[in-house]
Structure 1
């Protein structure tokens, strides 16, 4: 809750004079553009739904601040998102950690192999997505 709200207020501060600072680079990044698209398409529910993602969440909160989303919309949306995040972390995250510990007890080598494969998949997906975004769409 603290991080999401701090990101929102950082966005509000950036909106005031970012064009003449090093923060302008953040506002022109592909990740920020993705977060702003979510926010523009879905409005306040984008803030709540962003907590189901990895990476987009921070940029959606930043975009909400930059666009000066009214607090009467932002605070309920971020509260719902934080509850979703807490539920996921408390259930799926805990179960996932327990599964890794159990696998390590049975086979440390298999655990390392599974984790390495998971990291490789994430790197491949992110690299592929970044390359697809870098290629301009044919019009």
Structure 2
């Protein structure tokens, strides 16, 4: 978050978080919709980033998002902003199934308002308090460093396993 927003009142924080989540969800929806369209038009995407998104769209997370959108329809979009880890897959699923934009937009905007409200109030305050508590001691800083290192190692191992699996399947690497 920009330093100018440190200690800011509700409305500047709300505007910041609303803008961030609006941009992120729009990009997710349109990239998923575009890559799905390209994938339907071309059986093997040639552009490396399209191939990566294509593989992600075929993953279990997106499949869960599709099932949620199929079951709950447009209501799934604003509800996805209430739970961690669901926003991206549900908004991508809305793009994959080509949910009509006039129906998607109000639901997405409602979700953005909910998200920005949570983060501009209790969400950001809780994050700031936890970070301040953790960095207030040498043990807290060490814990953050260990967690960051663990996340990097897990990401690297997953990427390596995916590359090995795609090489074993004879698929092209991006």
Verify same fold: TM over 0.5: yes
Partner of 1:134 in structure 2? none
What is the CA-CA distance between 1:88 and the residue it aligns to? 1.2
Q: How does 1:5-44 map to 2 (within 5 A)?
A: 5-18=26-39, 19-21=43-45, 22=51, 23-44=53-74
Aligned-residue RMSD, C-alpha: 2.7
Q: What is the TM-score when the length of structure 2 is the normalising length?
A: 0.58
Which protein has the larger Cα radius of gyration, Structure 1 or Structure 2? Answer: 2
What is the CA-CA distance between 1:78 and the residue it aligns to? 0.3
8 Å contact kept, 2:135–2:141: no
Q: How does 1:1-139 map to 2 (within 5 A)?
A: 1-18=22-39, 19-21=43-45, 22=51, 23-104=53-134, 107-109=137-139
Q: Which runs of 5+ in 2 are unaligned?
A: 1-21, 46-50, 155-174
Q: Which runs of 5+ in 1 are unaligned?
A: 124-139
Quote the Cα distance in structure 2 between the aligned partners of 1:80 and 1:10.
21
Partner of 1:135 in structure 2? none
8 Å contact kept, 2:36–2:54: no
Q: 1:114 to 1:105 in 2, by over 3 A?
A: closer
Q: What is the TM-score when the length of structure 1 is the normalising length?
A: 0.71
